[in-house]
């Protein structure tokens, strides 16, 4: 059985999924797994297609002290116990910069180019690239494909793509990229089957999780995003501030004496819901808390989603549908209801029972704007891209 392995690597976890390639080209998920607690309480867990537990194994911290050793642990289990030899590995890579607007097969040259964008996505890019370099060193014969979170947005118009800065900086790659593109691309591909009546119309998709953004999609294509040059922009997130006056960054440097590295660490790790609440970066914990600071953080998040919806509607000169996705968007009826209340002026009106049940359609029949909950599947999108890139032509 031919299989494609999909890797999504972070700073403290390695997530992976395995897809079987059927004779008709269909991709069927066989394994979901991850190694988390890297360097502290490492644990390898995986389930099969029917959700049965395939492995649940703890390690001593020195055994899995870093991402490379976590990759080795997961790879060893796949090879030696499941006897898996994937025909290719697809990777989520957050930033493709100006060079890459579609998935690409990886070699040393491509890898070196992608390493240039580490400063633009310091929480993600180095960890996305770690497994690629590890596989290149250990198993150079296995094809690897990079799938970019920026690629779906690369068709933006010049008006949406640019900042009001000199042309020379734009030529260097300082532009509005947008992120979570694999998620938005999956939603755009799924909607013709879930909601064909709006699939090609003017849509706002809200990818709401620890990392959060929103996207205007028209005719199945991205036309505007709340995120820009880096994954700091737009909505407030778990630990990132979202939209912020650049003068604040200048203030931190000039008045607080913070170095560039300290400012970067502050903006990526100490702001957002965590900074506002002083309690947690987890929306679930904040919603369950009676602390007024937690309520402020939740309300602020809802407020900014509402503002961004107005911006995205303006970019398309109207809106014909609204879609919630990702961890918070898929799993928090309470937050969806609060956001819908903010969007009543657009014609959004939720059916409380349908919202509590999770949809997919959660709006009232008499609402002007249909609202859906659509679970995203970035891993399947990566597997599809990987197979399409490596499959022989006709």
Query: Which residues are catalytic, by number?
Result: 149
Tokens encoding 42: 């490492």
- Spell out the residues 6+ positions from residue 26 whose beta carbon is closer than 8 angstroms to its own: none
From the list 64, 50, 60, the residue with the least C-alpha distance to 75 is 64
Dihedral pair phi/psi, residue 108, rounded to 5°? -60, -35
- Spell out the residues 6+ positions from residue 277 whose beta carbon is closer than 8 angstroms to its own: 286, 289, 291, 293, 294, 296, 297
Would strands 221-225 and 212-218 be described as parallel, antiparallel, or unpaired? antiparallel
Q: Which helix (H) or strand (E) holds 36?
A: strand 27-36
Tokens encoding 263: 């400012």
Tokens encoding 92: 């989520």
Is residue 36 within 8 A of residue 13, CB to CB? The reply is: yes
Residue 266: count of CB within 10 angstroms of its CB: 17
373-376 contact pairs (CB < 8 A, 24+) = 373/323, 373/324, 373/325, 373/329, 373/330, 373/336, 374/187, 374/190, 374/191, 374/194, 374/323, 374/324, 374/325, 375/325, 375/330, 376/183, 376/186, 376/187, 376/207, 376/325, 376/326, 376/330
Report the C-alpha gap between 136 and 133 in whole angstroms.
5
Report the C-alpha gap between 215 and 156 in whole angstroms.
11
CA distances from 295 to 94, 284, 333 (A): 31, 12, 16
- Spell out the residues 6+ positions from residue 153 whose beta carbon is closer than 8 angstroms to its own: 177, 178, 179, 181, 184, 215, 222, 225
């Amino acid at each position: 059985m031919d299989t494609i392995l999909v890797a999504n690597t972070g700073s403290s976890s390695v997530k992976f999924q395995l897809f079987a390639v059927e004779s008709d080209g269909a991709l069927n998920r066989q394994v979901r797994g991850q190694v988390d607690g890297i360097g502290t309480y490492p644990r390898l867990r995986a389930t099969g297609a029917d959700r049965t537990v395939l492995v649940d194994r703890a390690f001593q911290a020195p055994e899995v002290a870093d991402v490379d050793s976590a990759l080795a642990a997961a790879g060893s289990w796949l090879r030696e116990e499941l006897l898996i030899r994937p025909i290719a590995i697809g990777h989520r890579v957050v930033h493709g910069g100006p060079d890459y607007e579609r998935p690409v097969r990886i070699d040393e040259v491509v890898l070196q180019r992608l390493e240039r964008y580490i400063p633009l996505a310091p929480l993600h890019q180095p960890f996305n690239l770690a497994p690629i370099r590890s596989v290149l060193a250990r198993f150079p014969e296995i094809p690897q494909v990079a799938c970019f979170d920026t690629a779906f947005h690369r068709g933006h118009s010049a008006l949406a793509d640019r900042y009001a800065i000199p042309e020379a900086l734009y030529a260097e790659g300082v532009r509005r990229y947008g992120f979570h593109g694999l998620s938005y691309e999956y939603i755009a591909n799924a909607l013709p089957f879930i909601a064909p009546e709006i699939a090609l119309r003017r849509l706002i998709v809200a990818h709401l999780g620890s990392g959060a953004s929103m996207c205007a999609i028209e005719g199945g294509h991205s036309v505007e995003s709340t995120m820009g040059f880096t994954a700091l922009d737009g909505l407030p997130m778990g630990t990132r501030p979202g939209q912020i006056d650049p003068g604040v960054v200048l203030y931190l440097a000039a008045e607080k004496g913070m170095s560039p590295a300290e400012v970067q660490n502050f903006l990526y790790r100490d702001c957002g819901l965590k900074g506002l609440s002083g309690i947690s970066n987890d929306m679930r914990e904040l919603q369950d808390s009676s602390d007024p600071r937690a309520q402020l953080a939740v309300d602020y998040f809802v407020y900014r989603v509402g503002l961004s919806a107005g911006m995205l509607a303006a970019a398309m000169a109207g809106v014909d549908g609204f879609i919630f996705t990702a961890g918070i968007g898929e799993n928090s009826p309470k937050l969806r209801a609060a956001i819908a209340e903010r969007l009543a002026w657009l014609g959004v009106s939720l059916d409380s029972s349908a919202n509590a049940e999770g949809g997919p359609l959660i709006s009232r029949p008499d609402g002007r704007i249909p609202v859906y909950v659509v679970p995203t599947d970035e891993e399947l999108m990566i597997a599809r891209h990987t197979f399409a890139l490596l499959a022989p032509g006709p």
